Amino acid sequence: RTLVERRDPGAALLPRLREQDFAALRGAFAGAAPEARALIDALADSAALYRGQSTDPYASNRDRAKLMKRAFMTRYVALAARQPQPRVLFHMGAYHVGRGRSPTDQYDVGNLAAELAESTGARSYHVLVLAAGGRVNRWLPFAPDAALKQADYDAHAELDPLGAGPLLDHALRGSWTLFDLAAMRDEPALRKAGGPAFDRLVFAYDAVVVIDVAQPARFFGD
């Protein structure tokens, strides 16, 4: 409530909790099921990650990547014990699911998936979905300006650091465009012409879907 009324993200509860708070919570749930205790541990890890974003972003992002990989492998190993070579679908942000080093300089869960697939004789397919224009919802509960729910979207400003600028320039107008990045990997001159970030993008993802006009997401209750 304080976060919303004061428009202060620092008032959010989770980053303000410290280890002694989670120790008390663990004590209160000492007799609970293992899944409940695991949730408390995950909350403690998340609190530390959010605090670290303001003090040591690299270490925080590193810990985040390790946490996601541990969570994935726990479930994957359990699934693999019941069926050989299980199929897995990831749905998350672009920085997390690419191959190789991410834009935040992490070897994230997407890279783990790629290596795991190859090591077991399977394959992974990485698809990046982007918007070339339209509007975006940038509003948060602590943001005072409700107009941010329909904010202008500058695709180049948002996506050039990711290396997607050349794809935006060649995307169709009035339609969606599918780019086969895998086909560009044996075209070094083409990759280099797009710049270092584009060169990395070609190997991080197998395909890119560019949506011509995106609509802003809506919060529940809007």
pLDDT tens digits along 91-112: 999 999 999 999 999 999 999 9
Higher per-residue confidence, 150 vs 208? 208
Confidence band of 54 (pLDDT split at 50, 70, 90): confident
Q: At what angle do helices 57-80 and 34-52 cross, to 10 degrees?
A: 160
Confidence band of 7 (pLDDT split at 50, 70, 90): low
Average pLDDT value for residue range 157-168: 95
Higher per-residue confidence, 97 vs 217? 97
Element (DSSP H or E) covering residue 184: none
Structure tokens at 202: 């070609």
pTM (2 d.p.): 0.82
* Residue 124 contacts residue 113 (beta carbons within 8 Å): yes
The reported pLDDT for the residue numbered 90 is 92
Q: What is the strand order of the sheet 177-180 is part of?
A: 127-131, 207-211, 177-180
The reported pLDDT for the residue numbered 10 is 63
Confidence band of 159 (pLDDT split at 50, 70, 90): very high
Average pLDDT value for residue range 70-93: 92
Residues of the chain with pLDDT > 90: what percent?
A: 67
The reported pLDDT for the residue numbered 28 is 92
The reported pLDDT for the residue numbered 1 is 59
Structure tokens at 192: 């280099």
What DSSP state is assigned to residue 149? G
The reported pLDDT for the residue numbered 5 is 62
Average pLDDT value for residue range 65-77: 93
Q: What stretches of the chain show up as alpha helix (H) in DSSP?
A: 2-6, 13-16, 19-28, 34-52, 57-80, 94-97, 109-119, 155-159, 165-170, 188-193, 196-204
* Residue 158 contacts residue 167 (beta carbons within 8 Å): no
The reported pLDDT for the residue numbered 182 is 96
